[in-house]
Amino acid sequence: MLDRFTSMQVFVKVVQLGSFSAAARALALSPTMVTKHVTTLEDRLGVTLFRRSTRHLSLTEAGRLFLEGSQRILADMEDMELAVSEQRREARGHLRLNAPVSFAIRYVAPYLPEFNRLHPHVSVELGLNDRTVDLIDEGWDLTLRIRKMPSSTLRSRRLATIRMVVCAAPAYLERAGTPSRVEELSQHQCLGYTLSGTNSASRWSFGEKGEKTVPVSGPLSANNGDVLREAALAGEGIVYQPVFVVSEELRTGRLRALTLDLPPVPGPDLHAVYAPGISMSLKIRAMIDYLSQCYTPIPPWEQALMNT
């Protein structure tokens, strides 16, 4: 009987390269053996994994499901083997880390001196960018993303959940009134974030499943949360932002969270994202593990509010 784990590896390689012959060359196997591995999987599962034609190879629905599970199992196995084999080794090299601007300034940069103390042989290049960067094309080792992760060949690890909050300066609320229902936001000055994966600058969603959407408008929209926070502090309107952007202002009372009839949509997760490979390098693992410790069990942006 063929090894099930090896058959998974062969199957994933066929998907990645788009053909049985290309997978055979990459794995130094004969095309016949590659076909045998895939056929054995299909026989064991009782399903067809590929739609085959003379010119095209595509996954069936069962194949897509099996691909997701296989990639997860193979990644876990690689990580486990690496963790065991590299216990005595030390992280080294130059690490290129990219993160969103507002988050990196508050919750990445302040933690890097301690990381450098713990890992003196790793130098860090921190890039700040609110757009989604291409790790491979742009040469980043690791990026932090605050969004729902789409299906991708990239690998990721969840570091924290980011809570959303609707807030405004007391001066604005005294002047314009304090809304209590989400529909009332349409009558207020709302400061929109243009890069959100959930809300747009002109429409904000609420509820556990985003079931309620309201049109909003205001004097300013921007692709950076710090800009919108400063406008809110100046009394320009209401912002709908991740807690980490406004936690200090909420703690000191310079901004006031609104209690509406529907809650904000559940916040996106913070992910550490890195390119797939034979194994995760020690420098990447060291940074991910370190940031995970910094953000758990309670993220520092939430701790600040708990201490008020």
pLDDT tens per residue across all 308 residues of the chain: 568 888 899 999 999 888 888 989 989 999 899 899 999 988 989 999 988 877 788 899 998 999 988 888 888 887 777 766 655 578 889 999 999 999 999 999 999 999 999 999 999 999 998 888 888 788 899 999 988 776 566 788 999 999 999 999 999 999 999 999 999 999 999 999 988 777 888 999 999 988 999 999 999 999 999 999 999 999 999 999 999 999 999 999 999 999 999 999 998 899 999 987 645 788 999 999 999 999 999 999 998 788 65
* pTM over 0.85, yes/no: no
Q: Are residues 134 and 282 in the same domain?
A: yes
Q: Would you say residue 262 lies in a domain?
A: no
**φ, ψ at 27 (rounded to 5°):** -100, 0
95 shares a domain with 80: no
Give the three-state DSSP class for 68. Answer: helix
Q: Positive or negative CA dihedral for 43, 47, 52, 58? A: negative
H-helix or E-strand containing 124?
A: strand 122-128
Same domain as 286, residue 250? no
Range of the domain at 56: 4-85
The helix/strand/coil state of 190 is strand
Q: Which of 38, 62, 85 is the last residue of a domain?
A: 85
Residue 11 sits in the same domain as residue 55: yes
Look up residue 28 and give its amino acid: A
The tally of domains found in the chain comes to 3
**The CATH number of the domain where 22 resides is what?**
1.10.10.10
Q: b/e for 14-34, b at 16 or more Cβ within 10 A?
A: bbebeebebbbeebebeeeeb
Both 104 and 127 in a single domain? yes
CATH number at residue 96: 3.40.190.10
Q: Is residue 279, in this structure, part of any structural domain at all?
A: yes
Alpha helices in 164-280 (DSSP H): 170-176, 225-233, 243-252
Residue 98 sits in the same domain as residue 241? no
Determine, yes or no, domain membership for 36.
yes
